[in-house]
């Protein structure tokens, strides 16, 4: 028996965390130590088609224009398919074809867009019609940050204390605030330690307990700045938060050094541009690529300044975006 419903395609954005997720209180369930807040990115996208077919003898995972990398490896994808199969009570094997419009494994959160797109496409192809909350819970089990790529716009991942209570919600729609995230890609080298592995070290930092004891207050402030659209306070906090996460990484045992010379150069330039009157803040995850956050009015200038830096290989401009959605056109 072959049904058209056994095939579905989804598009999902990556997201940039303003309050970061770094450390789990439950590895298997991917329950984070703390809640986090992010914005979906309009131009960092994964498209994934999943087809369950009784004729397939094994699961087949194909990445177009990309190598499999250790953050979204084949084994993790098949484990995720198993979760969805068991939920849908089917045993059929699948073909998965996925493509990113950006380099993966360089700190641009390809696991977020990847697992969000996979969750929506695979669950629908398996005949499930899940509510948004259930989709975010399922996406979280694939990769924590992926749960924030399911709802629209600005999202909050509520840390919770069980699988059912750890999910993401939209706190503002994409058109709430016209801020821009300009990504500067400085290298397409893959990071050496994946987020999953790196996070296991968070607790070994002497500063981890300090960070975790103050994080709820930080979340409160960030939400307040978002609510009143205070860009300066917001940007300062976002930048400080990125550096605090990197302080935890750097002081882990063994230490993790994700910041590369090229990213550091841009961080210094951001500080300089600020003194010249262009308001812009940086944030970065587990890779050398760096995100610059500015208001729409400064977008052109920041783009121009970035394009004059020889180390910058590619610039991707993102607005706040909708979350994961189904597409009618399939990749195969």
Q: What x-and-dash track marks residues 51-90 binding ligand DP6 by CB under 6 A? A: ----------------------------------------
Where residue 143 falls (left for φ over 0; alpha for ψ -120 to 50; beta otherwise) is beta
136 phi and psi angles, rounded to 5 deg = -70, -35
Dist. CA 163–CA 173, nearest whole Å = 25
Query: Does 218 sit near ligand DP6 (CB under 6 A)?
Result: no
E-only strand ranges, 90-153: 94-100
Dist. CA 279–CA 281, nearest whole Å = 7
* Interface residue with ligand DP6, options 36, 113, 283, 298 (CB under 6 A): 36
| Between 23 and 92, CB nearer to ligand DP6 | 23
Query: Does 17 sit near ligand DP6 (CB under 6 A)?
Result: yes
* Interface residue with ligand DP6, options 7, 9, 10, 30 (CB under 6 A): 30
| Between 30 and 85, CB nearer to ligand DP6 | 30
Where residue 127 falls (left for φ over 0; alpha for ψ -120 to 50; beta otherwise) is left
| Between 119 and 199, CB nearer to ligand DP6 | 199
CB 79 within 8 A of CB 37: no
Query: Does 286 sit near ligand DP6 (CB under 6 A)?
Result: yes
Query: Does 288 sit near ligand DP6 (CB under 6 A)?
Result: no
> H or E stretch including 307?
helix 299-307
Query: Does 263 sit near ligand DP6 (CB under 6 A)?
Result: no
Of how many residues is the chain composed?
332
* Interface residue with ligand DP6, options 196, 301, 325, 327 (CB under 6 A): 196
Smallest gap from residue 324 Cβ to ligand DP6 (A):
15
- From 126-134, 143-151, 178-186, 302-310, give the range in contact with ligand DP6 by CB under 6 A: 143-151
CB 326 within 8 A of CB 9: yes
Query: Does 20 sit near ligand DP6 (CB under 6 A)?
Result: yes
Name the token pair of 171.
Answer: 């706190």
CB 135 within 8 A of CB 1: no
* Interface residue with ligand DP6, options 11, 22, 202, 215 (CB under 6 A): 22
> H or E stretch including 327?
strand 325-327
Dist. CA 278–CA 288, nearest whole Å = 23
Query: Does 167 sit near ligand DP6 (CB under 6 A)?
Result: no
Smallest gap from residue 317 Cβ to ligand DP6 (A):
20
Name the token pair of 315.
Answer: 């610039």
User: Which residues here bind ligand DP6, judged by CB under 6 A?
Assistant: 17, 20-22, 30, 36, 109, 111, 143-145, 195-196, 199, 285-286
């Amino acid at each position: 028996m072959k049904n058209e419903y056994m095939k579905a395609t989804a598009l999902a954005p990556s997201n940039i965390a303003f309050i970061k997720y770094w450390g789990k209180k439950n590895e298997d369930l991917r329950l984070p130590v703390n809640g986090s807040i992010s914005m979906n990115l309009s131009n960092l996208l994964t498209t994934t088609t999943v087809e369950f077919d009784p004729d397939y003898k094994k699961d087949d995972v194909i990445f177009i224009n990309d190598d499999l990398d250790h953050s979204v490896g084949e084994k993790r994808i098949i484990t995720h398919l198993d979760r969805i199969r068991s939920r849908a009570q089917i045993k059929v094997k699948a073909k998965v074809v996925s493509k990113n419009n950006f380099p993966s494994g360089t700190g641009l959160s390809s696991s977020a867009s990847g697992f969000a797109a996979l969750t929506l496409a695979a669950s629908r192809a398996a005949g499930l019609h899940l509510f948004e909350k259930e989709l975010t819970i399922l996406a979280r089990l694939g990769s924590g940050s992926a749960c924030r790529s399911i709802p629209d716009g600005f999202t909050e991942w509520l840390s919770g204390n069980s699988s059912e209570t750890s999910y993401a919600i939209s706190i503002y729609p994409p058109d709430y605030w016209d801020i821009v995230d300009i990504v500067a890609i400085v290298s397409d080298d893959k990071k050496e330690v994946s987020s999953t592995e790196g996070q296991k070290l968070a607790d070994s930092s002497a500063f981890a307990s300090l960070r975790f004891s103050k994080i709820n207050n930080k979340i409160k402030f960030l939400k307040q700045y978002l609510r009143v659209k205070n860009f300066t306070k917001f940007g300062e906090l976002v930048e400080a938060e990125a550096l605090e996460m990197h302080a935890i990484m750097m002081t882990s045992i063994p230490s993790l050094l994700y910041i590369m010379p090229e990213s550091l150069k841009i961080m210094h330039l951001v500080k300089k541009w600020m003194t010249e009157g262009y308001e812009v803040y940086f944030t970065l995850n587990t890779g050398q690529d760096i995100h610059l956050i500015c208001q729409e009015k400064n977008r052109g200038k920041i783009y121009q300044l970035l394009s004059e830096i020889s180390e910058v290989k590619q610039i991707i401009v993102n607005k706040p975006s909708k979350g994961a959605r189904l597409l009618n056109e399939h990749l195969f």
